Structures are given as structure tokens and as C-alpha cells.
Amino acid sequence: MRKGRFRKSLEKTALRYSESISFDRRLYRHDIAGSIAHAAALSKAGIISAAENKKIETGLREIEKEIDFGKFAWGESLEDVHMNIERALTKRIGDAGARLHTARSRNDQIALDLRLYVKDQIKRTSARLKKLQTSFLKLAAKHVDLVMPGYTHLQRAQPILFAHYLLGQIEAFARDRERLEDCLKRTDVMPLGSAALAGSTLVLDRESIARQLGFARVSQNSLDAVSDRDFACEFVFCLAMIGMHLSRFSEDLIIWSTSEFGFVEFSEGFSTGSSLMPQKKNPDMAELTRGKTGRLYGNLMSILTTLKALPSSYNRDLQEDKEAVFDSVDTVSAALEVFSGMLPELKINRKRMETAASDPNLLATDLAEYLVGKGMPFREAHEIVGQLVADSITKGKKLGAIPPAELKKLSSKFDVDVAKVFDLRRSLAARQAVGAPSPKNVKAQIARWQKELM
């Protein structure tokens, strides 16, 4: 690559600083697929012969097999995945290999390779998310009748079904899958043929290349095509959102696994101990996920910062995009695999959840709504019930144990039927609005998700 223009070799320190083969070698499949499609287009345009095209394709597939089996020798001096494969091909098949780079640049090569990689990883990540959603769904179906407290500000708020909580997690990961699907639309654009930035006087059938590589459409501006990394930013953002959802769920599990809550217990296969305290059983998988989410955010900021001040077209700064993408893919893939295996082994303490949910104060809003049903404005009802809660706490009484006579002192609208308000199952059954946690709604949602996921 340096022959002709340069008379000196690149300094070793500069080579070590600038090489990308240590990480971009994972793009070899996509690079080879792109080269095979490019060679076919060169042959179709009459730039290389059919025989040369055949030699190029055969040679590239042999190289791919060598890489698959770990027998390929990568050379740092060749800088990147493109030059390593091209040099190996030229050594293998001679002059035909040297013709392969006609009408293309490493600029459009890497734009192509990264798009192919991201397309592949979008599909893989979506499949992993679906597997995790299925694990949530199976747990929800197993505990469909289990009542627990819902929380706001980490304070007990209102009763819900545990299955309703789990279905909420499924909804969050469904949005993640939707985002990935939407990201795919903007990733599914074929840049090859843009060359360095201005195309080539040797015109190739780009639509044919796109069809061969499975792209939905072809880029319409060569300058933009070699510099566009919007799709990579968007993909890393999607992965960061997945990390955020996993982190929030992890936080719930970490809190619920404490002795103070005791709602859940991690299996031994997904827990660690202490090097000092023999009794400890720590939720390290959840804690690590919470911590790794910071890395996902960092990767997003890294790629956005790299791009923010680049002049138009290709700049070597763009080499820095791949490590952010690769690390985010590896981090999220590992986390999704761990959680899909950890959820089925999670021990649910039904008694602790149901005991916590039996606190009558969780039905204070129901009591206010009882008064609303009797014709009282909600703000007035809210104030009265607030006074009742304060008095019950002062007197050490349960809210549901206050005698009707005392209730009537605050409002004549209280009657003997007020006792029904503190029937927990009746309260849940009454929550029938779309999205609310009535047993009927929860069972319908489980059936819906079973149809979609299983």
C-alpha cells in the first residue's frame, strides 16, 4: 500500500499506534463476503475475467476456512483486516488477487463491513432478547396468582401481582427489540462502490452487489456513505438502553434478595461468596450488570464524541468506532445470556411477598376511591384518608381495623360496606382498566405474550 508514494517504511511506534488488526479481525467474514460480491461486479463489468473471478472467490473461501480453524497468520504490519486478507489472497492466487481492489477503497470497505456486522448483531441481539422475554414469561405463568407490594420511592404503594411486574419487564425489552428493528432500517444501506469518497470512473452495478449481500437499498451519496456512522451510534444506543433495563431489573433483584426484604433468592450457580465471611451469598451477576451498564454508556459517549467534530468524508478517527461497537455487543450478549439462565433458577419467597402485600395501608387509595364512589370530591377524600392513616399509625392500629363509628366521625359517607375495601383479592380484581394488574388482565397478557414469543 505504501509502495510508490512513500520511500520509507512506517515507524514501528507509528505502526503499533495505528494498527487495527488486533480488534477488526472479527470482521473477516463480512470483509470476505464483500470482496466476493465486489469481484462478481468487476467480472460483470468486464474489468476482470470470469476465470479470475472464480479464482478470487475460491481463494477467499479457503482463507475464510483457515481463519475459522485458527490457522490464518495475521500480520500487524498489514494494519487491518482488509490488507491482511488481500495480501494472503494475492500470495495464494497471484495477479488476480491484485486486481480485486479495483474501484474500491478501504473507506467503503470498512463502511460495508461494519454495516454487515451490525446487521448481523441486530438479529442476534433481538433473538437473545426474545429468549430473555420467554424466561420472564415462564416465571410469570408459574406465579400468576402471587400478590406483592408495588413500590414508588422504594416505599410500599399499592398491591400488584408479581406476574404483572414480570410482564412489565417484558414490555421494556419489547421496546428494545422494536428499537433494534428500527435501527436495522438505517443500517440496511449498501455503501460499497463509493470508493474513497467520489466513486470511480469504473462503474459497477451497485444494485447487483446490494442484492448479493442482502441489502435493502444502496447509498445515494458517495461522500456521505464513507463517513456515515449514524447506524453505529444508534446501535450502541440501543445496546445502552438494553443495559439500562437490565440494570434497573438488577437493582430490584439486589434489593429484594436482602434479608430485610427476602422476596427472592439467587441460586448458587449465579451467586458468589465472601473471601472472609462464610455466611455470605452475594448477587454478583446482578451487581456486575449494574456496573457494566456504565461501560455501555461510556461506549456511546465515546463514539458520539469521536464523530462530533470530524470534517466531511472519511477520517482515520473513524477507526475508533469499532471497539466501542464490539465491546457493547460483547457486554450485552454476555448479560442477556446470564439473565436468561439465571431467571428460571430464581427462588421466589411467596410467603414474604404476600405478607408484605397484606399491609392494609396499601389499600388507602382504594378507601379514598370508596368515598369518591359515594359522591365525595377526590381531594376531600384524599385528606380524610390521610388523617385516618396518620391516626392509625399513632394509635398502633391497622387501617382496616378502625371501627365504623370512628370512620363516621370523619365522614357520614362511610358505611358498613367499607369493610369490603380491605379485601385484597377484591381490590386487585377491580383493577380492570387496560394495563392494570387485575388477575383477568394479567392472564390475558400472559396469553398474548405466549402467542407472540412461544
Partner residues linked to 158 by β-bridges:
150
Tell me how far apart the alpha carbons of residues 442 and 65 are, in angstroms, rounded to a whole number: 50
Residue 426: all three cell numbers together: 377484591
274 catalytic, yes or no? yes
**Three-state SS letters, the chain:** CCCCCCCCCCCHHHHHHHCCHHHHHHHHHHHHHHHHHHHHHHHHCCCCCHHHHHHHHHHHHHHHHHHHCCCCCCCHHHCCHHHHHHHHHHHHHCHHHHHCCCCCCHHHHHHHHHHHHHHHHHHHHHHHHHHHHHHHHHHHHHCCCCEEEEEECCEEEEEEEHHHHHHHHHHHHHHHHHHHHHHHHHHCEECCCCCCCCCCCCCCCHHHHHHHHCCCEECCCHHHHHHCCHHHHHHHHHHHHHHHHHHHHHHHHHHHCCCCCCCEECCHHHCECCCCCCCCCECHHHHHHHHHHHHHHHHHHHHHHHHCCCCCCCCHHHHHHHHHHHHHHHHHHHHHHHHHHHHHHCEECHHHHHHHHCCHHHHHHHHHHHHHHCCCCHHHHHHHHHHHHHHHHHHCCCHHHCCHHHHHHHCCCCCHHHHHHHCHHHHHHCCCCCCCCCHHHHHHHHHHHHHHHC
List the catalytic residue out of 153, 259, 275, 412. 153
Contact of 161 with 155, CB cutoff 8 Å: no
List the catalytic residue out of 257, 274, 392, 427. 274
| Residues catalogued as catalytic | 153, 274
